């Protein structure tokens, strides 16, 4: 036996492999039927077939021979064929696109390449409905075949490889798959699903036709069924070129006139490009003519992807040049803060061989990025104006990302500020719903600043002692609690000439606050010498504080901390420290409500040095805790409280 035939033989032997653990988990979830819409498998497979055609057309730009007609496939037009056999109970989706080599099959149909997958799967709760929603967000793709099939066979050959480089992949979705080399005359991929007994309705012509029209009409390649498909078993390999009927419009959706496109078509197209099972929140379709010609179709998803905050995760639009697919995730077309938007851009002017590097330096691309950013902002304006619930849900999902725009995109500053939403003391709930315009409308005419406070949660912000005087005066304060908020607000500058003012910063000149009559610093009859007591407190606390002073901003609490004007905010300090950065110790001023009973007690116990120190430290520790700071020595604090309770 020659060496070559041994090698061939080895290659043709079937090899069985296990799916990656994540795939096994996903398959299990799917097979236990999380889906109420089982028919989505067809959409997913046609979507994959369409991508495969797109990718071949792209590779053929530099290697036109890849698109050459083949002996068994004279029609070199890229297309997708759906066949079925009602008696045998299978349905098959074929494309003459890019195909896969053996290595690619093993890699792509045995693993999940998305980063963060195991984290994602770990979040699944066991609650079917919630999981179904999460999975929809994740995108199930090829693996959705196993929702309806008890066995799946994939026959494929990569474009450009010879006929003996075909591969047969098969699996029953139970943890393992088998790969075997085979001869395959056609390039591209056929995915055949042997349907479970109860899913055999998917091998019926009328059903397939209506599903393709409903879910895949927007696919830019012809999707066909065998002619007179009703009753026909549609077998095609070996039986020559049987007549076929194209069942979809087969035209790139974004190239069609807007008035002819139905909302469902826009929605289905979104599901295809975003691999999202849900409808988008809103979309905008534009065809731009003039010096730069391009079309864009942009969407805002309803839900944030599981990896929104992963800096490495893919983002950006699908780029086409003159209707030829060029690349996924072209991030150069949208600023980072709008990375949640999905969609397609089709340029008439860019060269077909454009690379990512070229995109980075191209002036046209830069101009398009600005225009597209404005389109997304337009879309959000409309959403905010017409659909309050929709905007609320946008803000919940993506507000934290959108806020980055305050810093990233000064050219759209006003528009971005108008789209921000805040939690505020004017409302009882902690949702971020108020606009800056609402705030300005509600504030007293003589108020020259926009007040805010930042804390770890809205509830913590709301219960801060620093708010007491504002609450008493009926002055509204914005409650910031997203990690990005202090950083963002530092860049807000002014809004309608009003400065943003952190209420925990500096010595508050209560007399100068707008609203009612001036308040006096409460006098305490028993404190003969308030200044002297404060001085003594300062010497007890030493370096921990920059000052101890009386304040009128507290009405209920005994004490609070005030940051220096230019000191970094407490939340920001916390985030930076958590990320391992070394920061100088914060030295805020301790402010005392000298009218408080606790201060009275301090004055009375002036002679007892131990008691005086305990009480002083308690003023400080309380103020630290209400500001969400950590105590250097919690054990000491607890012992001190207990001593005082027993005293
Ligand atoms: P996704 O399409 O979201 O990447 P899938 O699980 O649907 O995920 O598919 C995994 C990979 O398998 C695809 O990224 C692609 O590389 C490959 N693939 C799937 N179907 C085809 C096909 N018809 N032709 C070529 N490659 C395919």
Looking at residue 424, what is its pLDDT? 97
| pLDDT tens, residue by residue, 30-54 | 776 556 678 889 999 999 999 999 9
What's residue 12's pLDDT? 66
User: Last residue of a domain, which of 512, 535, 568?
Assistant: 512
Report the pLDDT value the prediction gives residue 240, as an integer from 0 to 100: 52
CB atoms within 10 A of CB 327: 19
Contact 171, 177 (CB under 8 A): yes
What's the rounded Cα separation, in Å, for the pair 119 and 103?
26
Dist. CA 85 → ligand 1 center (Å): 24
**Co-location of 103 and 148 in the same domain:** yes
- Pair 24, 77 in one domain: yes
Nearest-CA residue for atom 11 of ligand 1: 108
Percent of the chain with pLDDT over 90: 65
What confidence category does residue 509 fall into, taking pLDDT thresholds of 50, 70 and 90? confident
Residue 232 binned pLDDT confidence (cut-offs 50, 70, 90): very low
On whether both 266 and 224 belong to a single domain, the answer is no
Average pLDDT over residues 427-445: 95
Edge-first strand listing for the sheet containing 559-562: 547-550, 589-592, 559-562
Give the mean pLDDT of 444-472: 93
As a whole number, mean pLDDT of residues 264-279 equals 90
543 pLDDT above the threshold of 60: yes
Which residue out of 19, 49, 142, 305 has the highest number of ligand 1 atoms within 8 Å of its CB and is therefore the one to mutate?
142
- Tens digit of pLDDT for each residue in 93-108? 999 999 999 999 999 9
> Is 60 exceeded by the pLDDT of residue 234?
no
CATH number at residue 244: 3.30.565.10
What is the 17 CA–ligand 1 centroid distance (Å)? 18
DSSP line for 602-629: HHHTTT-HHHHHHHHHHHHHHHHHHTTP
Same domain, 84 and 113: yes
Domain boundary at 183, 216, 250, which?
A: 250
Q: Is residue 171 part of a domain?
A: yes
pLDDT at 231: 47
The kind and range of the H/E element at 36 are none
Weakest-pLDDT range from 121-135, 397-411, 476-490? 121-135
pLDDT for res 137: 65
Domain membership of residue 315 (yes or no) is yes
288 and 275 share a domain? yes
Pocket test for ligand 1, best of 48, 114, 161, 223 (most atoms within 8 A of CB): 48
CB atoms within 10 A of CB 411: 12
Tell me the per-residue pLDDT of 546-575, one tens digit each, with 9 for 90 and over: 999 999 899 999 999 999 888 888 888 888
What secondary structure does DSSP assign to 106-173, as a single string?
Answer: HHHTTS---TTHHHHHHT--S-HHHHHHHHHHH--GGGGHHHHEEEEEEEEE-TTS-GGGEEEEEE-S
pLDDT-derived band of residue 238, with 50, 70 and 90 as boundaries? very low
In a domain, 601, yes or no: yes
Whether 427 has a pLDDT exceeding 70, the answer reads: yes
Mean of the per-residue pLDDT values for the chain?
88
Of ligand 1's listed atoms, the one at least distance from the Cα of 191 is 23
| pLDDT value of position 577 | 84
Q: Ligand 1 centre from 281 Cα, in Å?
A: 26
- Which DSSP state fits 220? S
Candidate of 49, 50, 104, 141 to mutate for ligand 1, largest count of ligand atoms within 8 Å of Cβ: 141
User: Among 3-17, 115-129, 170-184, 600-614, which range has the highest average pLDDT?
Assistant: 170-184
**Minimum CA distance residue for ligand 1 atom 1:** 141
* Strand 294-300 versus strand 282-288 pairing type: antiparallel
- pLDDT (0 to 100) of residue 523: 55
Distance, in Å, from the CA atom of 573 to the CA atom of 456, rounded to the nearest integer, reads: 12
431-448: burial string, b at 16+ Cβ within 10 Å, e else: ebbbbbebbeeebeeebe
- Nearest-CA residue for atom 16 of ligand 1: 108
- Report the pLDDT averaged over residues 401-417: 96
* Ligand 1 atom 17 nearest Cα: 108
**For residue 233, pLDDT beyond 50:** no
Residue 90: per-residue pLDDT: 97
Query: If you take atom 8 of ligand 1, which residue's CA is the nearest one?
Result: 141
Distance 324 CA to ligand 1 centre (A): 19
Higher pLDDT, 306 or 470: 470
CA 138 to ligand 1 centroid distance, Å: 14
Distances (CA, A) of 566 to 480, 493, 500, 630: 18, 14, 13, 21
DSSP structure string for 311-345? TTS--SEEEEETTEEEEEEEGGGS-GGGTT-EEEE
| Strands of the sheet with 282-288, listed across from one edge | 282-288, 294-300, 342-347, 317-321, 324-330
Its domain, for residue 202, covers 6-250
If we measure between CA atoms, which residue out of 358, 360, 362, 328 comes closest to residue 345?
328
Please name the residues in contact with 531: beta carbons below 8 A apart, sequence gap of 6 or more. Answer: none
Higher pLDDT, 379 or 144: 379
Ligand 1 atom 15 nearest Cα: 108
Ligand 1 atom nearest residue 98's Cα: 25
- Regarding whether 464 and 553 lie in a shared domain, the answer is no
| pLDDT band at residue 197 using 50, 70 and 90 as cut-offs | very high
Supply the pLDDT for residue 597. Answer: 92
Is the confidence at residue 27, as pLDDT, over 80? Answer: yes
51 Cα: distance to centroid of ligand 1 (angstroms): 8
Is 401 among the domain residues?
A: no
Query: 152 alpha carbon to ligand 1 midpoint, in Å?
Result: 14
Q: What percent of the chain has pLDDT over 70?
A: 89
> Which atom of ligand 1 lies nearest, measured to the CA of 47?
2
The reply to whether 449 and 308 lie within a common domain is no
The CATH number of the domain holding residue 626 is: 1.20.120.790
Strand partners, 324: 321
Cβ-based burial of 82 (10 A; exposed 0-12, middle 13-18, buried ≥19): buried
Residues 260 and 188 occupy one common structural domain: no
Q: Is residue 167 part of a domain?
A: yes
| E strand or H helix that includes residue 81 | strand 80-85
Residue 454 falls inside a structural domain: yes
Residue 158 confidence (pLDDT) above 90 = yes
Q: Range with the lowest mean pLDDT among 2-11, 298-307, 488-497, 613-622?
A: 2-11
Domain match, 79 and 134 both: yes
Give the mean model confidence (pLDDT) for residues 632-643: 93
Q: What is the mean pLDDT of residues 181-197?
A: 96
Would residue 567 count as lying in a domain? yes
* In contact, 481 and 458? CB cutoff 8 Å: yes
- For residues 480-506, give the mean pLDDT: 92
Whether the CB-CB separation of 211 and 90 falls below 8 Å is answered with no
Decide if 410 is inside a domain.
no
Q: Which of 204, 227, 250 is the last residue of a domain?
A: 250
Q: Please, which residues have CB within 8 angstroms of residue 131's CB and are 6 or more apart in sequence? A: 29, 34, 124, 125
Q: Could you tell me if 451 and 341 lie in one domain?
A: no
Q: Do 26 and 164 reside in the same domain of the chain?
A: yes
Contact 212, 223 (CB under 8 A): yes
Q: CA 437 to CA 450: how far, in whole Å?
A: 11
Ligand 1 centre distance from Cα of residue 48 (Å) = 5
Which residues line the pocket of ligand 1, CB cutoff 6 A? 48-49, 52, 95, 97-100, 108-109, 139, 141-143, 189, 275
Q: Are residues 129 and 203 in the same domain?
A: yes
The residues that bridge with 505 in the sheet, in sequence order, are 563
Q: 323: domain CATH number?
A: 3.30.230.80
More confident residue, 488 or 121: 488
| Band (357; pLDDT cuts 50, 70, 90) | confident
Give pLDDT, residue 154: 98
Could you tell me which of 438, 468, 442, 473 has the C-alpha nearest to residue 453?
468
- The structural domain count of the chain equals 4
């Amino acid at each position: 036996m020659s060496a070559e035939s041994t090698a061939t033989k080895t290659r043709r032997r079937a090899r069985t492999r296990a799916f990656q653990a994540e795939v096994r988990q996903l398959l299990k979830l799917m097979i236990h039927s999380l889906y109420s819409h089982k028919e989505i498998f067809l959409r997913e497979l046609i979507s994959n077939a369409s991508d495969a055609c797109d990718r071949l057309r792209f590779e053929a730009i530099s290697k036109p021979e890849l698109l050459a007609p083949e002996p068994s496939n004279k029609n070199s037009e890229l297309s997708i064929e759906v066949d079925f056999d009602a008696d045998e109970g299978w349905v098959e989706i074929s494309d003459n696109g890019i195909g896969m080599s053996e290595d690619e099959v093993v890699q792509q149909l045995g693993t999940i390449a998305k980063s963060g997958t195991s984290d994602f799967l770990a979040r699944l709760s066991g609650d079917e409905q919630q999981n179904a929603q999460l999975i929809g967000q994740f995108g199930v793709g090829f693996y959705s075949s196993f929702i309806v099939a008890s066995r799946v066979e994939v026959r494929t050959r990569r474009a450009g490889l010879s006929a003996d480089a075909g591969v047969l992949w098969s699996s029953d979705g139970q943890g393992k798959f088998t790969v075997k080399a085979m001869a395959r005359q056609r390039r591209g991929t056929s995915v055949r699903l042997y349907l479970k007994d109860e899913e055999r309705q998917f091998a019926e012509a009328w059903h397939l036709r209506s599903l393709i029209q409903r879910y895949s009409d927007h696919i830019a390649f012809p999707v066909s069924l065998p002619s007179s498909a009703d009753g026909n078993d549609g077998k095609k390999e070996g039986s020559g070129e049987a007549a076929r009927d194209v069942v979809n419009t087969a035209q790139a959706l974004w190239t069609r006139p807007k008035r002819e496109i139905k909302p469902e078509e826009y929605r289905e197209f979104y599901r295809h490009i975003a691999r999202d099972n849900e409808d988008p929140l809103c979309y905008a379709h534009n065809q731009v003519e003039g010096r730069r010609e391009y079309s864009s179709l942009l969407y805002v998803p309803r839900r944030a992807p599981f990896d929104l905050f992963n800096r490495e995760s893919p983002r950006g639009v699908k780029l086409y040049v003159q209707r030829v697919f060029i690349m996924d995730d072209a991030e150069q077309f949208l600023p980072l803060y709008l990375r949640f938007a999905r969609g397609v851009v089709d340029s008439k002017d860019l060269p077909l061989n454009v690379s990512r590097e070229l995109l980075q330096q191209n002036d046209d691309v830069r101009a398009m990025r600005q225009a597209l950013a404005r389109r997304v902002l337009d879309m959000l304006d409309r959403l905010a104006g017409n659909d309050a619930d929709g905007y609320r849900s946008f803000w919940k999902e993506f507000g934290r990302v959108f806020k980055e725009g305050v810093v990233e995109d000064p050219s759209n500053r006003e528009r971005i500020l108008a789209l921000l939403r805040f939690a505020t003391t004017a409302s009882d709930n902690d949702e971020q719903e108020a606009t800056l315009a609402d705030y300005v409308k509600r504030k007293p005419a003589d108020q020259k600043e926009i007040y805010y406070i930042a804390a770890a949660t809205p509830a913590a912000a709301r219960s801060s002692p620093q708010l007491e005087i504002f609450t008493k005066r009926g002055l509204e304060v914005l409650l910031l609690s997203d990690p990005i908020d202090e950083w963002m607000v530092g860049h807000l500058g002014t809004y309608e000439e009003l400065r943003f003012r952190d209420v925990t910063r500096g010595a508050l000149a209560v007399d100068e606050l707008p609203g009612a009559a001036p308040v006096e610093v409460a006098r305490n009859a028993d404190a003969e010498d308030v200044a002297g007591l404060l001085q003594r407190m300062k010497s007890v606390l030493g370096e921990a504080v920059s000052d101890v002073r009386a304040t009128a901003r507290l009405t209920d609490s005994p004490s609070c901390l005030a940051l220096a004007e230019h000191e970094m905010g407490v939340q920001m300090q916390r985030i930076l420290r958590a990320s391992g950065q070394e920061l100088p110790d914060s030295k805020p001023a301790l402010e005392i409500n000298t009218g408080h009973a606790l201060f009275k007690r301090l004055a009375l116990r002036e002679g007892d040095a131990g008691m005086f120190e305990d009480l002083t430290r308690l003023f400080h520790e309380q103020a630290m805790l209400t500001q969400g700071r950590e105590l250097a020595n919690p054990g000491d604090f607890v012992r001190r409280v207990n001593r005082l309770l027993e005293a």
